[in-house]
C-alpha cells in the first residue's frame, strides 16, 4: 500500500484550521483492497489512519490505549 498525503495547507492564515485554506490537500491511497477512482470531499484527519491500516494489516489495536477501543 502506498499513501501520499500533504500537510494541512498554507504556512500562514488557515494552517491548522478546517477552512478552505487549511483543509484542501491531497490524500491518495493505492494498493490491494482500495477502490480505484473514488473521490471524496469528506474532511479527514491523519489520526484516522491507524485503525484503517491496522484493519488492512489484520492487526489488533491495543486495548485501552486509544480512545474508543475499550
What is the pLDDT at residue 59?
92
Task: Write down the domain spans for the chain.
Answer: 2-57
The tens digit of pLDDT for each residue in 22-62 reads 566 778 889 888 889 998 888 777 777 888 888 888 998 87
Cα separations in angstroms, 62 against 2, 5, 21, 48, 49: 24, 25, 35, 15, 15
The tens digit of pLDDT for each residue in 10-28 reads 556 666 666 666 566 778 8
What is the pLDDT at residue 33?
81
Q: Using pLDDT thresholds of 50, 70 and 90, give the confidence band for residue 69.
A: very low
What is the pLDDT at residue 19?
61
Cα separations in angstroms, 34 against 2, 24, 51: 10, 21, 15
Amino acid at each position: 500500500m502506498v499513501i501520499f498525503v500533504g500537510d494541512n495547507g498554507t504556512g500562514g492564515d488557515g494552517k491548522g484550521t478546517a477552512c478552505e485554506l487549511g483543509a484542501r490537500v491531497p490524500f491518495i491511497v493505492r494498493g490491494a483492497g482500495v477502490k480505484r477512482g473514488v473521490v471524496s470531499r469528506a474532511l479527514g484527519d491523519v489520526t484516522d489512519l491507524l485503525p484503517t491500516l491496522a484493519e488492512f494489516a489484520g492487526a489488533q489495536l491495543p486495548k485501552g490505549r486509544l480512545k474508543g477501543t475499550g
